[in-house]
Structure 1
Amino acid sequence: MSIFPAETINVSDLILATETAADDLPLAREYAWDFDKNDFLLVNGKNIIVTGKEAVKVWIWQALNTPKNRYQAYSTSYGNELALLINQGFSAGALRSEVERYLKEALLINPYITGIKNIDMIVDGNKMDVGFTVTTIYGEESINV
C-alpha cells in the first residue's frame, strides 16, 4: 500500500488552476475612503462604492490601520501587528525584515493581492515611514504608510 495517490497529478493543471483562480473572484468592492480625513468619503451624505484597484487600496489602508486581534468584529487573520515592533531595539536590517514579514502577513490574506515588493523604510528618530508596491489582480499600486 502506497501513501501516494494512485492517480498522478499534472503540474500544468495546477498552474492553470492558480492562473484562473483570479478570474473567478468577483469585482472587489469597498466603501470609498477619504485618506486625508481618515473617514468614509460621502457625497450628499451617502457612501460611495469603489471597485477594482481603488477598492483594494481602501482594504489595504484599513488593514494597515487595524491592530490584529483587537476587535471581535474582525477575523483573527485581519489587521496587522506592526505596533509590536515599537521599542524593540532591532537593528536596521532586522527591523526591515520584520516590517516586510508583518506587511506580508497582513496583506497577502486578501485574494486580490498577489505580492508586495520595493519596500522602502525611512526611520527618523521615533518615526518610521514605509512605502511599498503592492501587486494586485488589477495591477500595481504604490502605498505609503
Structure 2
Amino acid sequence: MTESIIARIATLKNTSTPDLRGMWRDLFETEPPRQNRRFLESRLAYRIQELEYGELRPATIERLEALGEDLDGGKMEVRRKRTDDRPIAGTRLIREFQGVEHCVTVLADGFEYQGRPYKSLSAIARSITGTRWNGWVFFGLRKSGAGQ
C-alpha cells in the first residue's frame, strides 16, 4: 500500500462520525447505513483501497464464497452468529460479589467455575447470586441494557 492510502485509512479512527458519514456519501454516492462507527470505519477503509487498487476478481470472490461454505456448511444461522463477542479460551474472568472473589475460566466450548463446566455465564452468575442475571453483564463484559 502506498503511504497516502495508509495515511487516509489511519485517519479514519480520529475522524468524527458525521465526517465519516460525509466520506461515505462521497465514496459510495449513497446515504450511509445506520450502522455503528466501527462498521463505517471498516467499510470506508475497504472502499478507499478498492478505489485505489480495484475490486476483487470474480475468481477470488468465488474462492472466498467456497471457503465460507466449507466453514459454515451454507447455514445462514452460523454465518450470522458473531464470533468476536466471546473471550478467548483460557481467559480468566474475575468478579467480586459480596466480598468473595469468583473466578471463571473461558473454555473453547463453555466455561468452568469451581471445577465444574457450564454452558453459559448466566448459569454461573445464577449459581453465585441465587438470582437470574445476564452473565455478560454480571462479569462486566457488556453494559446493562446493551444489545447483542
TM-score interval w.r.t. the shorter chain?
under 0.3
Q: TM-score, normalised by structure 2?
A: 0.20
Greater percentage in strand: 1
Greater percentage in helix: 2
Q: TM-score, normalised by structure 1?
A: 0.20
